[in-house]
Amino acid sequence: MSFLVAGRDKNAPKFSHAILTQLRDTAASLGLKDKESWRSPFGMGFIFRHALLGLEKAKMEHWSGLMQRGYPTDALVKANFLDAVPAVFGMDRRWLQDEYDAWVSLMGDPRSDFVQGVVWADRVWHSYQRDIKLNDPVGLEVRALEKRYQAAYGTMIGNAVGFRLPGRYYRFLLASTLAPKAFHKTFSDSELTQVLNKKTK
């Protein structure tokens, strides 16, 4: 089965780099660039979940996905994180490696800022991808944000058929979650409208 692993793991870094790059660039379009804010526990939890999404995507898109129980392993999650995050965010790999085990040890504490970052990133991503919707407290808050977006920026027809501009909606979600929680930045209604209407590359 080693050839299955090779094909799957070959794509994992590519997917993780792409997802993290999208996160970094979308945040930057909102003015969220401060390195220390990214390095906060919430910011790192947010990044951690996005890096893990690359492994999950590699599993789902590989033809043997349904046969891959126990994937990804803890060792692969760590290796992927330590490869992708320095490459995309320019963070020091040695610092990430030193802090990694302490962050992961917090996974059993839902009140920790790191785990909150992981959970918020997960719910934001699934809402952005029109994927599963969970009814836990964070999931309900993100669903409320979705309704707010539809009311303020959606169209009658778009809301009726569930259509929205994906890039614009992702910016809205990051402005409403990552910005205040990691960067301590809030947007007024007019500021939010301005950044959502701004053209990006």
pLDDT digits over 26-72, tens only? 999 999 999 999 999 999 999 999 999 999 888 776 544 444 556 68
Which of the four pLDDT bands, split at 50, 70 and 90, describes residue 152? confident
The domain limits of the chain are: 2-127+136-197
**C-alpha–C-alpha distance, residues 156 and 183, integer Å:** 33
Which of the four pLDDT bands, split at 50, 70 and 90, describes residue 198? confident
**Measuring CA to CA, how many Å separate 135 from each of 19, 28, 84, 127, 138?**
25, 30, 31, 12, 8
Indicate yes or no: pTM above 0.85.
yes
Residue that is written with structure tokens 């917090």 in the block: 106
Q: Are 118 and 49 in contact (CB under 8 A)?
A: yes
Q: Report pLDDT digits (tens) over 73-100.
A: 899 999 999 999 999 999 999 999 999 9
SS3 75: helix
Position 93, amino acid: R
Q: Are 46 and 117 in contact (CB under 8 A)?
A: yes
Q: What is the DSSP letter of 71?
A: -
Question: What does the longest C-alpha to C-alpha distance in the chain come to?
Answer: 55
Which of the four pLDDT bands, split at 50, 70 and 90, describes residue 163? low
Model confidence at 6: pLDDT above 90: no
Model confidence at 1: pLDDT above 60: no
Q: Report pLDDT digits (tens) over 89-146.
A: 999 999 999 999 999 999 999 999 999 999 999 999 999 988 778 889 999 999 999 9
Interval 152-159 mean pLDDT: 69
Residue of 38, 6, 16 whose CA lies nearest to 83 = 16
Model confidence at 196: pLDDT above 50: yes
Note the pLDDT of residue 87: 97
